[in-house]
Amino acid sequence: MTYLELSEDGGGAHKFYETTVSGTRVTISYGRIGEAGQTKITDFPSEEKAQAAAARKIGEKLRKGYAPAVRGMRQRRPVTRRTIASTRSTAQQAPVLWRFDSGASAFGIFVDEERCWVGNQRGDVYTVAHSGTVTGRFRLPDGVKCIVADDFWIYAGCDDGKVYDLSGKVPRPAYEIAADVDIYWLDIHDGVLGVSDRAGRITTIDYEDEFQWARTGRGDYAWMVRCDEDAVYHGHSGGVARYDASDGALVWHTPSADQVLFGWQEDDAVYAATARRTVHRLAKDDGRVEAVYGCDGPVYSCATSPGGRYVFAGDSHSSVYCFAASGERLWKLGTGCGSAFSMQFLDDRLYIVTTDGSLACIDASEPAIAAAREGTVPETVDVKAAASLPVLEPSVVLETVSHAGDGVVVECVREGDRLRVRVASPGYEAWNVQFPKDVREAGARYLVEGVRPSGRGGFYRTYGEIRRLL
């Protein structure tokens, strides 16, 4: 058995890696120091191959800065839970069509044409149809900080330092950030992940889960990160900054939009919700403040309708607001279910996730809002999850098949110290494939439903179920 730790000062890495060889079996455990972590077991054809595989893994970790240690000497570092005060709104009630209680405070939300996603601090993720029916449930190892989409793929960032792909049959880790980095928020564009953290840093990680660049901002408590093709936008206690997506060069910094608690983006502007009771709209090209939207309490979240025609905000007093693009406040209403930690607008509906764990659907159409301001709102439907709903959890176990059928075959090859995956089926470029690291094994072949090239080209991304090809 070999036990290693990597512990860095200043909020850096704080994780362990343990390798045990027993005959032809190699057992690897890893995770945050002070916790059980995760375990992967691999059987090899001979004891010699098992020993060689373990030695390779240990060598990789030693080169990354891990060192031999004694389990229990270092203590677990705490992870920040976003606990912010929320008071009851004195405004008139918003027209809430339905409400689902996820069971714990919720930050994660994503809404598309098919369904709504909500993730809470217990690690539960649910999918809910727009009609208000719970259609799916995932259980992740730690609290969900946020849920983001990148084309077809849906990702959940968790307090265990991993980002899980929820697009397949079971959740699978797609990115592994340092297990103890206090992730506050993340965003993703074309496979490149942007991560903001408690220390005010911004880090980008590529599709192979490899570090690109990191910068320390001019403040701490960095809640805002938004990514597009050209840039990463970073908001923290000291303002909002734009960094070049390719090399992390600072393009501009706007200190006037400080104490940022949340961020949103449209094609030409980014929006920073602040503890100073304002939402700032900043031009993407030069960071100038184009408009300021005033609320009556610290603003936990914001969103816009397409093109920024309307700007929505949620404050610490359980109120939601709507503004015209120019800055004029159009209405303010109470949620009735806590303060909105995150929100998203789609098809005249405002979806929010709140401090009391609710995913709520608000009718934001003009007739519904006019009626609500006169005191008339629909009866809210309380949505429940069926007790029989299957719970999907992360797993490294793969179903095995003997024939490729209609799928695409990919294979895992060793390239220096790294395992890469490439398409083995004919007719594809010799590009690497974004593929879960936890199930990679040199020489193994896998069957996937399909692969798609990234938007900018240069690598493929798998979709659908992953099966081991015998």
Per-residue pLDDT of the chain (470 residues; tens, 9 = 90+): 999 988 876 556 778 899 999 999 999 988 778 877 778 888 888 999 899 889 888 988 888 888 888 888 777 765 555 555 667 777 899 999 999 999 999 999 999 999 999 999 999 999 999 999 999 999 998 899 899 999 889 999 988 888 999 988 899 989 887 655 677 899 999 999 999 988 899 999 999 888 899 999 999 889 999 999 999 999 999 999 999 999 999 999 999 999 999 999 999 999 999 999 999 999 999 999 999 999 999 999 999 999 999 999 999 999 999 999 999 999 999 999 999 999 999 999 999 999 999 999 999 999 999 999 999 999 999 999 999 999 999 988 889 998 888 899 999 999 887 899 999 999 999 999 999 988 899 999 999 999 999 988 899 999 888 999 98
For residue 24, the model assigns a pLDDT of 92
Polymer length of the chain: 470
Task: Please choose, from the candidates 250, 249, 265, 248, the residue with its C-alpha nearest in 3D space to the C-alpha of residue 206.
Answer: 248
Pairing of strands 381-383, 96-101: parallel
Helix (H) or strand (E) holding 359: strand 358-363
- Distance, CA of 189 to CA of 228 (rounded, Å): 6
Q: Are 360 and 102 in contact (CB under 8 A)?
A: no
For residue 371 the two structure tokens come to: 């009626």
For residue 179, the model assigns a pLDDT of 55
DSSP 8-class letter at 438: G
DSSP 8-class letter at 392: B
The 10 Å Cβ neighbour count of residue 71 is 12
- Distance, CA of 57 to CA of 367 (rounded, Å): 62
For residue 63 the two structure tokens come to: 């080169």
For residue 190, the model assigns a pLDDT of 94
Alpha-carbon separation of residue 171 from 114, 155, 266, 282 (angstroms): 19, 9, 29, 36
For tokens 């936008």, what's the residue? 233
The residues pairing with 264 across neighbouring beta strands, listed in sequence order, are 271
User: How open is the CA angle 304-345-329, to the nearest 5 degrees?
Assistant: 45
Task: Please choose, from the candidates 338, 448, 406, 282, the residue with its C-alpha nearest in 3D space to the C-alpha of residue 105.
Answer: 338
> Please, what are the domains in the chain?
2-68 (2.20.140.10), 96-383 (2.130.10.10), 399-469 (2.40.50)
- Distance, CA of 141 to CA of 126 (rounded, Å): 15
- Distance, CA of 337 to CA of 121 (rounded, Å): 17
